């Protein structure tokens, strides 16, 4: 047996690799919009807020991810609504909402007499614990999000580049924005189990930001982001097996290295052409 193929022997590792591919794909596709619309803070905010949903679901005896998804979607819509209708700036809104929701989660959890929830695994993720049922959930959400991106591709692109002109020409900019926020919330929930609340924003931002350095057009940027994203999640998971390190942290570190490599390549290119 080739020692390099050992990680693929175990069923739990196989499930983890499937999850890693799905998470890398989804986060990079959504990350392209996140980077170009400058929404990275929103991703972080939704992830933290979803913690309250996890704790409430635990108390009520519901599935953690259903609780997290409901709170994440409500937070995303709330952020969009306050931003559109309110006179408060977006970063202030998110700063208040997400820390508040996160604090609520910690508060509720601290009042529980004896809790079996592993806080650590929610903060930093545990992709090795992905079950077959989780994979089904990830698969359905991935399909839903991929389908929505295909259907709304042109609308999402136009409203990302120039929402004002898109609206004047008759596109439903507000609806598209809310759909994007809901997709973002669901993507974060899918990624939560793999990399955890603290690191999920990195997976949304870093591969797309790296791709942004190297491309001049939107579709190539998205495709390259997906390649870099899947390379990070699958590669990070693989490396973590041999390094005996946290899979979530290894994934994010690999993505960060790819980002700096992309900046290096970009400078090399401009140096050569100059």
Partner 1 sequence: MNAQAGDAVKVVNLVVRYDRTLALEGVTLDVHFGEAMGIVGPNGSGKSTLLKSIAGLLTPASGAITVLGAPPKKIPAGSLAYVPQIEAADWSFPATVWDVVAMGRFPRLHFWQHFGEQDRSAVEAALRAVNMYNLRARHIGELSGGQQQRVFVARAIAQRPQLLLLDEPTTGVDAETEEALRRVVRSLVDDGMPVLMTTHDLDRVDEWFDRLLVLDRRVLAIGKPDEVAESGAYASIREHTHTHGHARSA
Cβ-based neighbours of 227, under 8 Å, separated by 6 or more:
none
Cα(115)–Cα(231) distance, integer angstroms: 36
Q: What is the largest CA-CA distance in the chain?
A: 66
DSSP letter for 63, please.
-
Q: Which is nearer to partner 1, 112 or 147 (CB)?
A: 147
Decide: is 88 part of the binding site for partner 1 (CB under 8 A): no
Total chain residues near partner 1 (CB under 8 A): 27
Cα(142)–Cα(29) distance, integer angstroms: 11
Decide: is 227 part of the binding site for partner 1 (CB under 8 A): no
First to last CA, the chain: 50
Stretch that binds partner 1, among 95-103, 148-156, 180-188, 242-250 (CB under 8 A): 148-156
For residues 19, 21, 26, 27, the Cα torsion angle rounded to the nearest 10 degrees is 90
Q: Select from 151, 243, 263, 268 the one that contacts partner 1 (CB under 8 A).
A: 151
Decide: is 162 part of the binding site for partner 1 (CB under 8 A): yes
Decide: is 153 part of the binding site for partner 1 (CB under 8 A): yes
Q: Shortest gap between Cβ of 260 and partner 1 (angstroms)?
A: 20
Decide: is 157 part of the binding site for partner 1 (CB under 8 A): yes
The CA angle 200-8-122, to the nearest 5 degrees, is 25
Q: Select from 217, 271, 272, 273 the one that contacts partner 1 (CB under 8 A).
A: 217
State phi, psi for 221 to the nearest 5 degrees.
Answer: -60, -45
Q: Select from 18, 135, 171, 179 the one that contacts partner 1 (CB under 8 A).
A: 171
Decide: is 154 part of the binding site for partner 1 (CB under 8 A): yes
Stretch that binds partner 1, among 52-60, 76-84, 159-167, 176-184 (CB under 8 A): 159-167
């Amino acid at each position: 047996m080739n020692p390099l193929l050992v990680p693929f022997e175990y069923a739990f590792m196989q499930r983890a690799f499937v999850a890693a591919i799905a998470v890398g794909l989804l986060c990079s596709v959504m990350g392209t919009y996140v980077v170009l619309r400058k929404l990275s803070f929103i991703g972080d905010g939704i992830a933290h807020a979803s913690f309250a949903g996890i704790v409430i679901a635990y108390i009520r005896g519901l599935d953690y991810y259903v609780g997290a998804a409901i709170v994440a979607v409500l937070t995303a819509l709330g952020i969009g609504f306050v931003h559109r209708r309110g006179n408060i700036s977006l970063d202030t809104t998110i700063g208040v909402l997400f820390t508040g929701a996160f604090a609520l989660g910690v508060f509720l959890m601290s009042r529980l007499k004896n809790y079996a929830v592993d806080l650590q695994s929610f903060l930093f993720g545990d992709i090795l614990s992905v079950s077959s049922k989780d994979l089904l959930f990830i698969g359905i959400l991935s399909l839903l999000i991929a389908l929505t991106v295909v259907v709304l591709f042109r609308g999402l692109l136009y409203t990302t580049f120039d929402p004002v002109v898109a609206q004047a020409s008759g596109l439903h900019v507000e609806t598209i924005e809310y759909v994007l926020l809901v997709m973002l919330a669901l993507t974060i929930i899918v990624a939560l189990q793999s990399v955890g609340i603290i690191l999920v924003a990195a997976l949304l931002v870093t591969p797309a930001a790296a791709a942004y350095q190297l491309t001049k057009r939107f579709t190539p940027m998205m495709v390259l982001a997906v390649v870099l994203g899947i390379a990070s999640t699958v590669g990070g998971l693989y490396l973590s097996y041999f390094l005996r390190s946290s899979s979530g942290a290894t994934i994010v570190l690999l993505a960060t290295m790819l980002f700096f490599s992309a900046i290096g390549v970009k400078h090399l290119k401009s140096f050569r052409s100059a």
